[in-house]
Amino acid sequence: MVKLNKIYTRTGDDGTTGLVDGSRLPKHATRMQAVGDVDEANAALGYAAVLAEGAVQEDLFRFQNDLFDLGADLATPLGEFGGEDFEPSEMVLRIVTAQVSHVETRIDALNERLEPLTSFVLPGGTELSARLHHARTVARRAERCMTALAEAESVNPAALAYINRLSDWLFVAARIANDEGKADVNWVPGANR
């Protein structure tokens, strides 16, 4: 259980931040950038959820919770406290394949309502669609940072799959918010030459 009595601790005043295992990293370390990008993606989902309704809003709330799990996963490197693999435990929170599978199920359910794409889609249309597209781009940035981290350190494969599928869900949900794709703004190559 998390209990925060005091918001400021002064422990980060030296430019470092603490990980779940008690170690400290520079705030600009790739691992911390990935955690921050995931946090920003979570905020973007919250911004979209304000306008969403029904199943899309429920999905957004669920995915926000998953993104906190993902942040905790990234903040727990492998090692003594983080174990020798990416299996969750009582002390270690990890993204699991069931979370990835759930996002895939939700993508499939929404995608059934859409006609196939015949053009690339520009971010926009309704305000909700624009917010979902923005959240998608933030999730893609988080994914890029996570893959950069994975080149240097071990990253949970399920975490990488999760952020990738989330951005796919956000794309499909943005199309749903555009009258199930009927109000999508299509790219016209070279239109302004």
**What is the per-residue pLDDT across 160-175, written as a single tens digit (0 to 9) for each?**
999 999 999 999 999 9
pLDDT (0 to 100) of residue 20: 73
pLDDT top residue among 98 and 85: 98
Cβ neighbourhood burial of 100 (10 Å; 0-12, 13-18, 19+): buried
pTM: 0.90
Percent share of the chain, pLDDT over 70: 85
Distance CA 180, CA 175 (A): 6
pLDDT (0 to 100) of residue 12: 59
Average pLDDT over residues 75-92: 72
End-to-end CA distance of the chain: 58
pLDDT (0 to 100) of residue 28: 83
Place of tokens 């920003």: 40
At position 20, the amino acid (one-letter code) is V
Q: Is the pLDDT of residue 18 over 70?
A: no
Average pLDDT over residues 134-159: 97
Min mean pLDDT across 3-12, 29-38, 93-102 is at 3-12
- Quote the mean pLDDT of the chain: 90
Average pLDDT over residues 173-193: 95
Distance CA 52, CA 59 (A): 10
Percent share of the chain, pLDDT over 90: 75
